[in-house]
Amino acid sequence: MKNIPFIDLAAQQARIRPEIEQRIRAVLDHGQYIMGPEVAELERKLAAFAGAKHALGVSSGTDALLVAVMALGIGRGDAVFVPAFTFPATAEAIVVAGATPIFVDVAEATANMDPVDLARRADETAKAGVLKLRAVMPVDLYGLPADYAAIRAVASRYGMKVIADAAQSFGGALGGKRVGSLADVTCTSFFPAKPLGGYGDGGAVFTDDDGLAAVMRSIRVHGQGGGKYDIVRLGLNARIDTLQAAILLPKLEILADEVSRRQAVAASYARHMQNRVEVPVIPSGYESAWAQYTIRVDDRDGVATRLKAQGVPTAVYYPKAMHHQEAYRAFAPKGALPVSDRLGNRVLSLPMHPYLDDELVAYISKAVVEAAAAR
Ligand SMILES: Cc1ncc(COP(=O)(O)O)c(C=O)c1O
């Protein structure tokens, strides 16, 4: 039996460890641990990579979302539309800001926000006349960008902004444009397991809007105005550490190469398993950053147990949609969100990282096909 890691961060470290150590040493030498020169350098390079005018380093993907929501002045009495099938941080930022999340179902094919359900719920919310429709917050689940054209069409009908939760998709693209330039504001995460992952918490926000960027810069440091103790708005401590920026710089250098390696791994999985299990479908014009490789199977927990016995680790993102979570029950819609519910029972993520070799992909795929057939 093999002992396969779900994600192998050591392989990447072996590739660029001297560059990372050199960057860490430079920070120890200059000693500017808060907002040191590496933060500005990272922001410049992130913006250039994404094709966005502004990039700001922040303390996590969760704080990226909160900074964006606060900067847009979203709060009590405001509605923000968000997929029910997501990581808790997406809805959390909305509720922490005092606004109301409206859970939208996801599309069966992509597991991303369903623009048809979004349009229906936006219409219902507008007709009810209680909440002000302020923003749509699509999630690029597993690294695949959401359907931004269709979502933007609904958002603009109601004068709403689009805040992308791109925590999982940095390095992905849609219609030749990279993630970071697909929405009014884009929020990403540098959690270690993400496609661009640091050695701790971190994140970034992207926008082309000069005014919004300035407000987000202020919110990142307690709502500062012209001077350190000139506080002009409610803010946070949401800065990225200089050390984290230093570590991310050499990782950003190899991100494009790593995303293409992930794409090759995904293509290899698909070749081995197509027509035998439900493999992810990437619509034409989309490039996933492949944060996760997620198949769908019946008897998901049984399949996971059988795979574990073969040394193949798996993970479930996510077993329970947000409207079923105890803390969010007050926001549960009256009717069902059938696709989110079904996916919660069927999704299973397989090992995925840029350094997964073909022999292992073949071994894992064979084990998956057998485990799925062994019901
Ligand atoms: C979809 C999504 N949103 C937000 C986050 C939050 O990012 P962080 O862990 O950096 O706060 C994550 C991270 O797991 C995520 O997957």
- Pocket of ligand 1, beta carbon within 6 A: 60-62, 86-87, 89-90, 139, 165, 167-168, 189, 191, 201, 203
Tell me the CATH architecture of domain 9-104+112-253: 3-Layer(aba) Sandwich (3.40)
Contacts of 229 (CB under 8 A, 6+ apart): none
pLDDT at residue 227, rounded to an integer: 87
CA of 334 from ligand 1 middle (Å) equals 27
Instruction: Kindly tell me if the per-residue pLDDT of 210 is higher than 80.
Output: yes
Per-residue tokens: 224: 């500062």
Q: Which of 94, 168, 186, 236 to mutate to test the pocket of ligand 1 (most atoms within 8 A of CB)?
A: 168
Instruction: Kindly tell me if the per-residue pLDDT of 1 is higher than 80.
Output: no
Return the domain boundaries, the chain.
Answer: 9-104+112-253, 255-373
Q: Could you give the 3-state DSSP secondary structure of residue 302?
A: helix
Work out which ligand 1 atom sits closest to the CA atom of 193. 14
- Mean pLDDT (whole number) for 190-203: 98
**pLDDT digit string (tens) for 136-178?**
999 999 999 999 999 999 999 999 999 999 999 999 999 999 9
- Mean pLDDT (whole number) for 43-54: 98
Per-residue tokens: 148: 């931004």
The residues pairing with 34 across neighbouring beta strands, listed in sequence order, are 241
Spell out the CATH class of 255-373.
alpha beta
Q: What's the CA gap between 81 and 118, in Å, rounded?
A: 7
Residue bearing the CA closest to ligand 1, atom 7: 61
**pLDDT digit string (tens) for 325-345?**
999 999 999 888 999 999 999
The 10 Å CB-count burial string (b at 16+, else e) for 308-342 is eebebbbbbbbebbbbbeeebeebbeeeebebbbb
Q: Which of 259, 216, 258, 250 is nearest to 235 (CA)?
A: 216
- Mean pLDDT (whole number) for 263-281: 97
Q: Which of 325, 319, 316, 308 is nearest to 348 (CA)?
A: 316
Mean pLDDT score across all residues of the chain:
97
- Mean pLDDT (whole number) for 73-84: 98
